[in-house]
Amino acid sequence: MHSISRALCASLFCLSVLLAGGESSLARERLAGPVPADVIKVIDGDTLLVRARVWIGTDVTIKVRLRGVDAPEMHARCTAERTMAEAATRRLGDLVSGGPVSLFDISGGKYGGRVIAGVLAASGRSVAEDLLRDGFVRHYQGKTREPWC
């Protein structure tokens, strides 16, 4: 019984490190999901703060950057980008306001303390696809970002 508890604790620790974008070998791994989560805050047009249920009775609070998209930045170089960033942030908030979300295709991000993941709204629709369709974000594959100004 004691060894099962240790194994469970070790597994939960590794999962929390992965979700937090920790060790580089773990950050390269992917978690298929779905992982249920509640949105705590919309940070900007492509980033959420969520509380994800990673195990029975175990939640992790983590920033999630939407996989495959780039939104205008709130700390913009020009007024037009700032205006677009505010609109993208509001739209993301609208898309995730219907209840819990599901995270999928989860991996560590290049910045500690966040992961990159696909996000499905409570409706089952892809949040990133809806933002792309509505023109609030661009496709992004981790290379150099295109300017918005």
- 148, part of any domain: no
For the stretch 83-132, pLDDT in tens is 999 999 999 999 999 999 999 999 997 777 899 999 999 999 999 999 99
What are the DSSP E strand ranges found in the chain?
Answer: 30-31, 35-44, 47-55, 58-66, 69-70, 101-108, 114-120, 138-139
pLDDT value for 116 = 95
Count of CB atoms situated within 10 Å of the CB of 123: 12
Please state, for a pLDDT cut of 70, what percent of the chain lies above it: 82
* Residues 6 or more apart in contact with residue 100 via CB below 8 angstroms: 36, 37, 38, 122
96: three-class secondary structure by DSSP = helix
- Residue 80 belongs to what domain range? 2-139
Q: Which CATH number goes with the domain that contains 131?
A: 2.40.50.90
pLDDT at 11 over 50: no
Q: How many domains does the chain have?
A: 1
pTM, full prediction: 0.79
